[in-house]
Structure 1
């Protein structure tokens, strides 16, 4: 936001608060009657539509289970949490990561070498490259996704090869993240929001929607947002511009929808990750200190679009098809912090410039239907998907031209010229193709209803073809062993027993899939190409729904293959594994009228097994704590109509920053608080929101790792304030 608009945002929020107080003073004896605002989500090219919100409005009753479609939580053998738009707005979340910091089972991390959001689910990394939009991968901006672009955030925990197919980057072995598009609700929507907070930033957004035609058959929803200014970290700046249009149309048998969206995001002097380059201890610096070099930046621009259609062939069979595309451009000038002495904080940085262009095209089509064979019901699905991406990249990395600095007392340097000894790949002014990904899959599934529909048995399989090609940065030729083309069929089995209306028990076996390795040069079997690696998950659990309060318990074991013997003269083999075993306990809904709860805790034993290396055998996986969790409560204050207060405690145990478990990173905990107040001003519904995150201003490491095998660390944000107002008119 331009500098002149920042005080406008602050003044608008404060003026609305003042006007509301004045209005109450005029008639303190009477309680204003607010007009009823009904916002019900319409179906997005789907007869299933959005899963309804659970009482309390923070999460939904279910979510999308891949090709199985939208499932009720009590009737699916998988673990799904879907965060509603109401929750996103009330927590003033600005990105997917800001939403998922509330999730007790997700650790929010950062991509390797940049500011890309990444997420630990059941101890495995999911990068934002592998985030899905309405079931299609990699359509959203790959580093930072503003909340104006989506309605809900859905987290599907566990392996998902059958449900969603292999991810483009090969991550997502512990779960998947799906974003749902915004569609026009049944009632007209006119909402303008303003916000300001720590660092003097300003944020303004608009959300406008209408339905037209007979029975409101045509809908349009327009979202736009602009943010500019600082953060709670010294000298850190961010500017984001976002706009999207969502359209939908339906008649009795056909439903169509589409989106077009654009986001430009600019980070300036954003605090980088810290890599322990010889440090034997890892203290957390002051949460507000910024050790980023003033000449660093990261800019991304993305344009995306989707089309989706659904046709009821008859009362029992429905066909669907979808397409999505994205075109993205990135440019970065980075300087990661390398810590050499944990006691003194001494370290160094060096200049790293990078440009990247992405072209993504993806789609799916399928049939789903219902039938009965005697007393057995069937909900079957057949689907095919295709993903294609082309990545262009170029870089210059001046590793030998280092600038000394300090973690606790940063030393800022002028922009260093390249020394002439830098490592370079490609042309920064015209990057060439460096990677292509082609994924093709075919899936078949059936959910059988048995014993008067109290037992649900899901059977399925997906055949996946994985073809990736890596090219030399400078010559454009295919790298040695850079062409990988393998396939695998991934089965799935799930069962649900609906014990009664309140309890369901479930179990599943499902696999994850990622491409295999290629034996490196110098090994006895150099250049050998391995078959895709198969991750195997077993899970059992209980789900509870008391009407207004829900809970879940899941016990799972996931095993991911590893490779060993990569040294010169050794034989490179697929041997060993990461074994993640854990327990997840969740609670959500209304404990009593006016008290809403959302949270849980997970215990996770993530170890390296059969590694062939005594230094890593039986050691914990990088970045994964044994325990983490969160609990949030929102309370309607008695005697003060339409005022709600909320608090959230988030905590995690210690982690390791290296595979040998010699660098231990301490655990952490933080408290966030907020308030929300609804009132009527001049006949308009106004919602005031205020938040303080990291109330105690704790200094801590928010994450360790975020890319397999890497132990870089990210400092948690300091105490930050935000004040906002939204007007519905």
Structure 2
């Protein structure tokens, strides 16, 4: 298998656009009627084909008034007893965010980490990981590229804080116990859209993208096509990246029937990227190395290529009953060569294992639901019944050598790639090693009482999980697990006024896990064994506030999560419960006519058998400020401050990772060009002080590897809106 090649997606997309029939060219949004005062998009069609459409943006345009809450569908923030935030396309564009991880840097309850032994993005929500392949795409698991998702696919990024198995089903990758991330794909807005963007950033990385959308004259049919290409060196000397993507989003809005479909392609290549770094047990955490120079060996790389798509439909049987059906597929291929350092002494000397791998994933998933509204006396009911199924197969092979590379993180040298001395399967022809089947059925009743001031959510999900593992070389079945369980929820929300709601909830999460081959450098006696799924219990209390211009949330929560590790016999099994107790405060909206704010603070006490859990800072804070300059109405300035307190890289709390603070600044300037064209120029500097820091510890349960924060990075882009 060789995925280290990819077509020019920009040329493909232009060809696709040329086939769009004239019938879908909108007439109702004439460019002469458009305003250039703010580059926002009002989208008529919803990505999930729901009747209510996409939730409108809140004041300031950076977050939305509501979003998808699993099987409950689109919910207003002020009318649901759960904690979530929906980041908009405007925020993504103004910050020149390249990936989901870049967007989630705005959330005080979230930090971005790495996968174990690879470059996969991992999102730590309330101190617990959400793997990037456990994100949902319009509510369906497993459809998005496993390692990284480009921002050009995204209309909204929705962050749900807390356990969520009842709402979304068990995550097939075994994460998501502290929260969830849902990606909403792009849809055609009400007016014609034709945008071309070019950009460059530190190191010479170049960027080009096209975004074109049309609706039919009657507004029923919509098509939106996005394509992008990134290529070149980055701000890290020695590192380069390439990304090609294209996405087509279609929708139909009928009187009773609504349909949507998506087809996406992404090819992402990383060469000589900063590796994960493990510090030897008992050794104090050393200073972070120079972030502007890659420690990665020049022959290390990671490439993933994915094709994925969904089809979704919703039908109104009458005014009280509607139903929906969704189906999705993904085919992914990966190959990589890693050499992740293990630092042996305070001077930064290290040894690294060579580890090459190939992987092929096939995902098939679907959901069917029915929702009805009725009353029993003065009590309103919205009853939802949902069934889902998820099938996953993964073919894997690996080869490598133990301690095959030696160097220093402060004075990196290029070493030759060593020869393999161990392997599993054939790199060129990986065999089936993992097969999972998940199916569930859930029932919810949202009751409204006291003139809809009191809202109660009741529900339960019956979840079944089948998990099989197979030998890399022989294909023989190693382990098998097949069991089912029920996860309930209870949520209560009371509207104290039009602007204040109080809420409480109880909800559970379910995790599945296979024993790894090694924990640190210690071999596991039961590698590959499928552990019995275990349940996380969470309770939360909170207050929500929204006026016409400002919103916010204060919440306290406590969760208990079983944690696996090695016992005295080197058996990997559940050892103890990790208890997370937290307090979160957030705010968003327009503080004044010209000042928009977004941010908050998160306090976390993550107790793991008497010690602080790995990679769980006790304080995280964010503050984003955007200022529209009154004297220059086409100019907007913004800044973002990110603070993360110290954390531990080991379970015994002997290796303390220092706190870090990062400042990013940016500007946006609008230039009318005549003939109904608009030029938007965006400039940004991230990590203004060029501070070298350890950005995260861990990201995979039980592991305390470190990642280096990005160096000072300059970004400049220009968008022409025709």
The one-character-per-residue Cα deviations of 1:262-281 (angstroms, maximum 9, x if unpaired) are: 00011011110101134333
Q: Number of residues paired by the alignment?
A: 683
CA contact (8 A) 1:518 1:530 kept: yes
Please say which of residues 32-41 and 681-690 is displaced more in the overlay: 32-41
> Is 1:694 aligned with 2:691?
no
- SS of the equivalent of 2:43 reads coil
Give the drift of 1:665: 0.5
| Partner residue of 1:239 out of 236, 239, 242 | 242
- SS of the equivalent of 2:689 reads coil
Q: Name the counterpart of 1:29.
A: none
- SS of the equivalent of 1:171 reads coil
The one-character-per-residue Cα deviations of 1:605-638 (angstroms, maximum 9, x if unpaired) are: 00113xxxxxxxx100000101011001000112
Give the drift of 1:423: 2.1
- Unpaired segments ≥5 residues, structure 1: 6-31, 610-617
Give the drift of 1:653: 0.5
Separation in 1 of the partners of 2:718 and 2:126? Answer: 36
The one-character-per-residue Cα deviations of 1:222-252 (angstroms, maximum 9, x if unpaired) are: 0000010111111110000000111111210
- SS of the equivalent of 1:67 reads helix
Separation in 1 of the partners of 2:52 and 2:598? Answer: 25
The one-character-per-residue Cα deviations of 1:102-159 (angstroms, maximum 9, x if unpaired) are: 1111010011111100010011000001011000011111101001112110000000
Q: TM-score scaled by structure 2?
A: 0.92
Give the drift of 1:417: 2.7
| Partner residue of 1:218 out of 210, 218, 221 | 221
| Partner residue of 1:160 out of 158, 164, 169 | 164
Separation in 2 of the partners of 1:350 and 1:386? Answer: 38
Give the drift of 1:47: 0.7
What value does the CA root-mean-square deviation take over the aligned residues? 2.3
Q: Name the counterpart of 1:712.
A: 705
CA 1:428–1:550: 2 relative to 1, 3 Å: same
- SS of the equivalent of 2:54 reads coil
- SS of the equivalent of 1:151 reads strand
Give the drift of 1:500: 0.2
The one-character-per-residue Cα deviations of 1:25-60 (angstroms, maximum 9, x if unpaired) are: xxxxxxx98489773212231112111100000000
> Is 1:182 aligned with 2:179?
no
CA contact (8 A) 2:644 2:661 kept: yes
Q: Summarize the alignment of residues 313-324 of structure 1 with structure 2, pairs less than 5 Å apart.
A: 313-324=317-328
- SS of the equivalent of 2:651 reads coil
CA 1:155–1:577: 2 relative to 1, 3 Å: same
- SS of the equivalent of 1:148 reads helix
CA 1:381–1:88: 2 relative to 1, 3 Å: same
- SS of the equivalent of 1:605 reads strand
Give the drift of 1:414: 2.2
CA contact (8 A) 1:382 1:443 kept: yes
Q: Name the counterpart of 1:591.
A: 591
Give the drift of 1:194: 0.6
Give the drift of 1:483: 0.5
Give the drift of 1:659: 0.6
> Is 1:499 aligned with 2:490?
no
Q: TM-score scaled by structure 1?
A: 0.91
Give the drift of 1:289: 2.0
Separation in 1 of the partners of 2:321 and 2:35? Answer: 47
CA contact (8 A) 2:401 2:418 kept: no
The one-character-per-residue Cα deviations of 1:60-114 (angstroms, maximum 9, x if unpaired) are: 0111110000110000000110000000000000000011111111010011111
Q: Name the counterpart of 1:17.
A: none
CA 1:529–1:717: 2 relative to 1, 3 Å: closer
CA 1:374–1:721: 2 relative to 1, 3 Å: same
Give the drift of 1:568: 2.3
| Partner residue of 2:359 out of 356, 360, 385 | 356
- SS of the equivalent of 1:558 reads strand
CA contact (8 A) 2:130 2:176 kept: yes
Please say which of residues 384-393 and 286-295 is displaced more in the overlay: 286-295
Give the drift of 1:529: 7.7
CA contact (8 A) 1:488 1:532 kept: no
CA 1:518–1:645: 2 relative to 1, 3 Å: closer
| Partner residue of 1:417 out of 416, 419, 430 | 419
CA 1:37–1:429: 2 relative to 1, 3 Å: closer
Give the drift of 1:574: 4.7
Q: Name the counterpart of 1:308.
A: 312
- Unpaired segments ≥5 residues, structure 2: 9-33
Q: Summarize the alignment of residues 646-661 of structure 1 with structure 2, pairs less than 5 Å apart.
A: 646-661=638-653
Separation in 1 of the partners of 2:220 and 2:481? Answer: 47
| Partner residue of 1:406 out of 401, 405, 408 | 408
Q: Name the counterpart of 1:43.
A: 45
CA contact (8 A) 2:635 2:668 kept: yes
- SS of the equivalent of 2:402 reads coil
CA 1:453–1:336: 2 relative to 1, 3 Å: same
Q: Name the counterpart of 1:88.
A: 92
